């Protein structure tokens, strides 16, 4: 079963990428063009992270309205940023796109994910309980981050506020290079294991019956989804439930649940969405809104429609 119309995605993708690179002052300006190329690279990496982590996460949880964001990774990121401001002040803000800040933030989020996962193994929680745990911890961290943000001066606040939306402007080439290798490896590995992921779709019991060590897989893939989500968040900021949108669009367009189709398609769609939002911000809204806010809004509306339309979602 092959999806027959790849050009339906690829054509607008190429068009928007070309527009992004060439429309406006970047045309003929070597420096601006290279800046835009780096940003395109960041978009590509983020798109891979968002799509793959969400699809894997949804496969494991057997639920199509989840994304790794519910595990509180993004809340951890927000708290980390706020703490950095509290400790270092406005000048001490290490922006996530810069290499040092990127690594620091990545370490912080991964540390949280690791602690959470330790809990999963030790207390032998069911996956739902584990999700709920992440959700609650995320809520707590959100509250604390808000407090820290509230205590910040307006200048610091503006900086922090900016960090709570995804944006590609802050990504530095160095951070991008650090992120590229693990993301590429993860993507390759996931694609090679697509058959196993398909089997996991059938649920714990049937997957076990087909000779898959479910618990080990669950731990492994959850860890991988956490790493991808952490990289993405640390690189470009939170993407909230964009992953839900991208994954569901991919399922709908592919007309199949098989990962061999949904994973590449989801990644392409994520990139398309980023480019589209960027183009809208630049040329329709004239920078009166940000890519992050726009992506949130677009995804939010779609998500609501999705929830309303589907009779039952499991």
> Given the rule CB under 8 A, which residues bind another protein?
1, 63, 65-66, 70, 123, 125, 128-129, 131-133, 135-137, 139-140, 143-144, 146-147, 149-150, 154, 157, 161, 194-196, 198-199, 201-202, 205-206, 208-213, 240-241, 244, 251, 254-258, 288-290, 293-294, 296-297, 299-301, 303-304, 307-308, 310-314
- Measure Cα distances from 272 to 16, 110, 135, 165 in Å: 8, 28, 29, 18
Least distance from another protein to the Cβ atom of residue 255, Å = 6
Residues 6 or more apart whose Cβ sits within 8 Å of residue 204:
214
The DSSP H or E segment spanning 274 is helix 259-283
**Rounded CA gap, 248 and 303, in Å?**
9
**Rounded CA gap, 158 and 147, in Å?**
15
Output the six-digit token pair for 54.
């969400």
**In the complex with another protein, which residue's Cβ is closer, 176 or 232?**
232
Q: Among positive and negative, which fits the CA dihedral 241, 228, 173, 22? A: negative
**In the complex with another protein, which residue's Cβ is closer, 67 or 172?**
67
**In the complex with another protein, which residue's Cβ is closer, 25 or 312?**
312
Least distance from another protein to the Cβ atom of residue 21, Å = 27
- Contact yes or no for 112/236 (Cβ under 8 A): no
- Contact yes or no for 231/49 (Cβ under 8 A): yes
**Rounded CA gap, 140 and 274, in Å?**
30
Residues 6 or more apart whose Cβ sits within 8 Å of residue 185:
none
Least distance from another protein to the Cβ atom of residue 59, Å = 10
Burial of 240 (0-12, 13-18, 19+ CB in 10 A): buried
**In the complex with another protein, which residue's Cβ is closer, 65 or 98?**
65
**In the complex with another protein, which residue's Cβ is closer, 38 or 191?**
191
Least distance from another protein to the Cβ atom of residue 203, Å = 8
Least distance from another protein to the Cβ atom of residue 106, Å = 23
Least distance from another protein to the Cβ atom of residue 75, Å = 11
- Measure Cα distances from 189 to 13, 221, 261 in Å: 25, 11, 15
Least distance from another protein to the Cβ atom of residue 107, Å = 23
**In the complex with another protein, which residue's Cβ is closer, 85 or 176?**
85
**In the complex with another protein, which residue's Cβ is closer, 36 or 64?**
64
């Amino acid at each position: 079963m092959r999806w027959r119309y790849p050009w339906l995605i690829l054509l607008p993708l190429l068009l928007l990428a070309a527009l992004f690179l060439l429309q406006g002052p970047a045309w003929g300006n070597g420096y601006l063009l290279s800046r835009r190329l780096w940003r395109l690279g960041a978009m590509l990496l983020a798109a891979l992270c968002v799509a793959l982590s969400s699809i894997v996460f949804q496969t494991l949880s057997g639920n199509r309205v989840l994304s790794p964001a519910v595990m509180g990774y993004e809340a951890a990121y927000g708290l980390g940023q706020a703490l950095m401001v509290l400790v270092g002040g406005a000048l001490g803000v290490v922006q996530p796109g810069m290499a040092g800040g990127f690594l620091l933030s990545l370490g912080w989020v991964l540390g949280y994910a690791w602690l959470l996962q330790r809990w999963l193994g030790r207390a032998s929680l069911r996956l739902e309980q584990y999700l709920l745990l992440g959700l609650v911890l995320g809520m707590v961290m959100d509250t604390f981050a808000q407090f820290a943000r509230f205590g910040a001066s307006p200048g610091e606040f503006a900086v922090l506020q900016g960090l709570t939306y995804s944006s590609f402007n802050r990504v530095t080439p160095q951070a991008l290079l650090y992120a590229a290798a693990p993301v590429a490896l993860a993507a390759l590995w996931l694609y090679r294991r697509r058959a196993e992921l398909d089997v996991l779709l059938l649920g714990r019991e049937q997957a076990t019956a087909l000779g898959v060590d479910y618990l080990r897989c669950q731990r492994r893939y959850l860890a991988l989804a956490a790493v991808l989500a952490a990289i993405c968040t640390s690189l470009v900021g939170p993407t909230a439930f964009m992953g839900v949108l991208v994954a569901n669009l991919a399922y709908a367009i592919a007309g199949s649940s098989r990962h061999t189709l949904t994973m590449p398609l989801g990644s392409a769609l994520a990139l398309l969405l980023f480019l589209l939002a960027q183009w809208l911000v630049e040329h329709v809204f004239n920078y009166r809104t940000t890519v992050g806010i726009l992506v949130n809004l677009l995804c939010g509306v779609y998500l609501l429609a999705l929830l309303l339309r589907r009779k039952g979602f499991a």
